[in-house]
Amino acid sequence: MVKSSPKDIVNKVALYIKDKLLIEKGDSIVVAVSGGADSICLLNILLELKDKFKLDIKACHYNHKLRGDESDQDEIFVRNFCKDRGVELEVGCKPDEFIIKNEMDARECRYSFFEKVFLKQGRVGAKIALAHNLNDLSETFLMRLIRGSGLIGLSSILPQRDFYIRPLLQISRNEIIDYLREKGCDYRQDSSNLDQKYLRNKIRHKILPDLRKINPNIDLAVSGAAMQIAEDYGFIGKEVSALFERIVKKESEYLSISLGDWEKVDPVLKTHLLHYSYHQLLNPNDISRKQLEKIVQLIENKVGKKFLPLPHSLRFEFKNGRIYMYQTSNLVKENNGQSTQE
């Protein structure tokens, strides 16, 4: 395989940015920099493209304080890297009283910080640039496939969502390392990335290398599948959004659908409609396809159990010819088993 030069990689990123409409001239880009190879590469490449796109480049770093001195050394490294290049940096840190129990907690802390940084920009054209690459995309796709995700999950990592952009999605980890080596850029290595008790690391270090023996271009193949699924789900999403507006009754504390309208919904769209509806209530990420299918089954049977508790105090209830969805923490006025919507 012919090794790409740093110039080739920068041009490849520039073309991807244009193709996916990730950046417009004059945008203010805040690069999320962990100190690892991917984010250091992203910041360096965007600095190279700064004049081409007339960009205002800043950076942010979040210290999760999960790895003791190693986490603090990451922060020091990022501070020095940005200072040497004249890049304004904002640093966030996990509060001492907050305990991170798992990867989801860490992600929520990090993205809450990113959102605050974004809101501080206070201008049109502000974006947060994340350094997910081609390998991350294939790893995420396989993780979600293994866990039984539906189309939303298998859409994997999108080039842009809200104010987040991912300019490196067509750049492989090998290309990133080659770029940094040629540019003489140091970077930090997270020791936890080697721990195979985490599913992502098991996929990265064991499963994908075996798959590459079968298909050396497996990352491109998987990313292509993920992008195709994302495009297909984009169409489904528009249909579901229109369906939601047409048949879902929206009250201040709950959503409801009449059984008559429900029965007219195409079976393919039913779980998607439920998922979309619950997202209007809370935006939950951990309602599974299996739970949604269970709700559909309860409705279709019209007998037996008529309610189902879900994560985050969300609840499904079917009665009096209507399907109700609500959050019990917002709707706790129950007297003798009769809830407020009766």
Residues 318 and 173 in one domain: no
Residues 29 and 115 in one domain: yes
Residues 177 and 44 in one domain: yes
Choice between 220 and 59, residue whose per-residue pLDDT is larger? 59
- Condensed to tens digits (0 to 9), the pLDDT of residues 93-115 reads 888 777 777 777 888 889 999 99
Assigned domain for 173 exists: yes
- Condensed to tens digits (0 to 9), the pLDDT of residues 229-287 reads 988 888 998 999 999 999 999 887 889 999 899 999 999 999 899 888 888 877 555 56
* CA distance readout (Å), 214 to 11, 171, 207, 305: 30, 21, 11, 48
Least confident of 21-25, 118-122, 162-166: 118-122
Choice between 102 and 78, residue whose per-residue pLDDT is larger? 78
Choice between 3 and 17, residue whose per-residue pLDDT is larger? 17
Strand partners, 322: 258, 319
Place of tokens 């244009």: 18
Residue 286 sits in which domain range? 252-330
CA-based angle 144:34:32, to the nearest 5?
80
- CATH code, domain carrying 299: 3.30.465
- Condensed to tens digits (0 to 9), the pLDDT of residues 167-192 reads 999 999 999 999 999 999 999 988 77
Residues 183 and 258 in one domain: no
pLDDT at 341 over 70: no
- CATH code, domain carrying 67: 3.40.50.620
Q: What number of other Cβ atoms are within 10 A of residue 157's Cβ?
A: 22
Q: What is the number of structural domains in the chain?
A: 2
Assigned domain for 203 exists: no
Q: Look at residue 95 in the predicted model and tell me its pLDDT.
A: 81
